[in-house]
Structure 1
Amino acid sequence: MATMRQMVHERIEQFKDTHQKTKESRYGFLVRPLTLILGWTVMIAGIIMIPLPGQGWLTVFIGVGILSLEQKWASNLLTWGVRQYDRFVEWYGRQSFGLKAVFMVALIVLIWVVFIGLAYAFWKWGSADWLDPAARWIGLRR
């Protein structure tokens, strides 16, 4: 099985060539801002996808990898983050089924707490009026 480091490296290498060639083109001055916008967009999409089935962490790391084409801090964060992810996956793989189950339940509870907290905050700020019936049902007031 490929490590996260290998998967991210393969994808970022594809971006590097295109990125460098585009910088040398007629519209090279647009490459930096567009790279930053793309990197942040991919990273934020990945963060949103983390609790969902699929490749959330890979998407986050690819977003940071895109940012690393223009930002040194992103390069450092990518190196550190991928190493920590690979270490966690290796450690998690050695754990018993019971401990893995506890982690999964804790993760699901954490995801629900975050989503409920965000929904409450948006409702409180008036950005989620569609939650008014549920809020009245549980007795919440703005």
Structure 2
Amino acid sequence: MKRVKAAIVAAGVVAGLAVAVAPAQASTCTTEGGGVYICEYGITNHQLLRGEKEQFVVGSDYAVWTRWTTGGKWSSWASLGGNVRSRVEAVHAYTNRGTDLETQISAQGTDGNQWARLRPGLGQAWTPWRALVDGDGPE
């Protein structure tokens, strides 16, 4: 009988630990344009050249999503992938040529590290996700 009680207590403890480490259900919000994102992480607004705009959110799938304006009209939401657990940060700098705007986005991954993607210029493809280390980032 003592062994049965011990097994029940052990199973209860293991079940309790599983519940304790499971992530809480995140609340979601809806953007203009119908995008669903994790409310806690908000919307990152990013100003582009010639008055155009870009937005980044962490979707309910924990991927980074973006949309942008062209001629003042918003695009549809597009996934940039990833599996992040923080607000998306966006920074930009002019490239060495001085004519293109390089943009880097970053967010914390499930491993606790900062991860980033880089777009070398407007209209160009984003690089794959890479882990940032001290001193790494756009120049």
TM-score normalised according to structure 1 size? 0.24
Kindly indicate whether structure 1 or structure 2 has the higher relative contact order, using CA contacts under 8 Å at least 6 residues apart.
Answer: 1
Q: Which structure: greater strand fraction?
A: 2
